Amino acid sequence: MKVLHVNAGLENGGGKNHILSLLSQFDSATAELLVLENGIIAEEATKLGITVHTIEQKSRYDLSILKRMAQFIIDGSFDIVHTHGARANFMFAAIHKKIPSIWVTTVHSDPTLDFMNQGLKGTIFTNLNIASLKKANHLILVSDSLERPLLDLGLKKDNMTIIYNGIQFETDEVERKSKNEVFTLTCVARLHPIKGHEVLLKSLAAAQFMDFNLHLVGNGELKASLEQLAQELNFHNQIQFHGFLDTNQVETQIAQSDLTILASYNEGFPLVLLESAKQKVPFIATNVGDIKRLLPDESYGWCIPANSVRSLTDALNEAYSAWERNELKAKGEKVYQLASNQFSLFRFYKDTFTLYQKLLQ
């Protein structure tokens, strides 16, 4: 079996971690990585010992790579091509009929929402990605919740398999304080409308406490507007915009926090919550995707409705009171036990490998 994973190469969040953690479990002779541009994925993959190839696309609109890409895949005799992300999907869709490989793609999020608020360009990219997904031989979904949107788009259930994300829990914990002097919150999410940062900031403004530090990790189109909102709410000394951080830096930031927050309007099964669970840091998350699997009841953390300032404010007030009483640690331990038992990296790898074998029969 030879498998080639394909990605644009510029992912810097959960998508990047998903690809690299999965590939790190495969033998280098079995699975390789092709990126369309040099970037953080190629850099980190190389450090992990993953075989990486770069095709050097000049821009996302550069179609001159298609012939080289097709020849590379044919010459490599890859049995399966596994794409991740809209650009990789679109590029491979343009050449897949010329290639005998089985085409698998992972759907990380609802494709109708990936390019929201991007006008005509967003509509075009959305339609191209959906058309590409319909051409793939098989789709891996990271969440049960993605099945219905895809069925509504006309994709076939028989061509879908749900495989949940997983991470390596069997590593040393990052050193962390038992309790911070100031209530310390972290939100790791790209600065995109679907992630609900504005709701988070407004909820903090409505909360009953003011002694907090919020760390926002991620880049995106909303950076300027969120910085402006933070100024308007007089949070300029309490909110830090970190931009992109590498994997080790993210782990350290989470480990040094009392609580993580994800206020998204839509998710599949976000890796960042597994990363928080790994550090035994509890979280508040909106009840979207399959997040409820990590928060079956309130003893594990807070699962709240999306787009609700009132619900998030109430959860923040409860979390702050639990922090004052030094009760957050117990929630962190519970969510760690649940996540490490059910969402291990080995299970993630084994389920994917088993699917590959099935498709090749």
Q: What single string gives the DSSP state of each residue in 276-326? A: HHHTT--EEEES-TTGGGT-SSTTT-EEE-TT-HHHHHHHHHHHHHHHHTT
Q: What is the mean pLDDT of the chain?
A: 92
- CB–CB of 153/137 below 8 Å? no
pLDDT of 173 > 80? The answer is no
**The whole model's pTM is what?**
0.82
Indicate the number of domains in the chain: 2
Domain match, 137 and 116 both:
yes
Q: Give the tens place of pLDDT for each residue, 201-216.
A: 999 999 999 999 999 9
Mean pLDDT value of segment 78-84:
97
Helix, strand, or coil (residue 212): strand
Domain match, 67 and 132 both:
yes
Residue at 172 is within a domain: no
Q: Which residues pair with 304 in a beta bridge?
A: 286
Alpha helices in the chain (DSSP H): 14-23, 40-47, 65-75, 86-93, 119-135, 147-152, 197-206, 223-232, 247-255, 271-278, 309-324, 328-342, 345-360
Q: What is the pLDDT of residue 176?
A: 62
Q: Residue for token digits 């759907």?
A: 107
Residue at 266 is within a domain: yes
Domain match, 195 and 328 both:
yes
Alpha-carbon distance of 125 to 81, in angstroms, equals 21
Alpha-carbon distance of 167 to 169, in angstroms, equals 6
Q: What is the CATH number of the domain that holds 325?
A: 3.40.50.2000
Domain match, 117 and 223 both:
no
Alpha-carbon distance of 224 to 27, in angstroms, equals 43
Domain match, 335 and 352 both:
no
Q: Give the tens place of pLDDT for each residue, 208-244.
A: 999 999 999 999 999 999 999 999 999 989 999 999 8
Domain that holds residue 323: 183-342
- CB–CB of 4/81 below 8 Å? yes
Residue at 174 is within a domain: no
Q: Taking Cα atoms as reference points, which of 106, 125, 120, 143 lies closest to residue 22?
A: 106
Domain match, 289 and 323 both:
yes
Residue at 295 is within a domain: yes
Residue at 299 is within a domain: yes
Alpha-carbon distance of 343 to 35, in angstroms, equals 27
Residue at 7 is within a domain: yes
Domain match, 236 and 296 both:
yes
Domain match, 120 and 153 both:
yes
Residue at 25 is within a domain: yes
Residue at 176 is within a domain: no
pLDDT of 337 > 80? The answer is yes
Tokens of 226: 């969120």
Alpha-carbon distance of 247 to 280, in angstroms, equals 17
Domain match, 313 and 336 both:
yes
Domain match, 86 and 138 both:
yes
Mean pLDDT value of segment 138-165:
94
Please list, in sequence order, all residues whose beta carbon lies within 8 angstroms of the beta carbon of residue 360, skipping any fewer than 6 positions away.
Answer: 1, 79, 80, 102
162 sits in which H/E element: strand 160-162
Domain match, 197 and 299 both:
yes
Domain match, 194 and 232 both:
yes
- CB–CB of 2/79 below 8 Å? yes
Alpha-carbon distance of 97 to 90, in angstroms, equals 13
Alpha-carbon distance of 22 to 40, in angstroms, equals 16
89 Ramachandran zone, left/alpha/beta (phi>0; psi -120 to 50): alpha
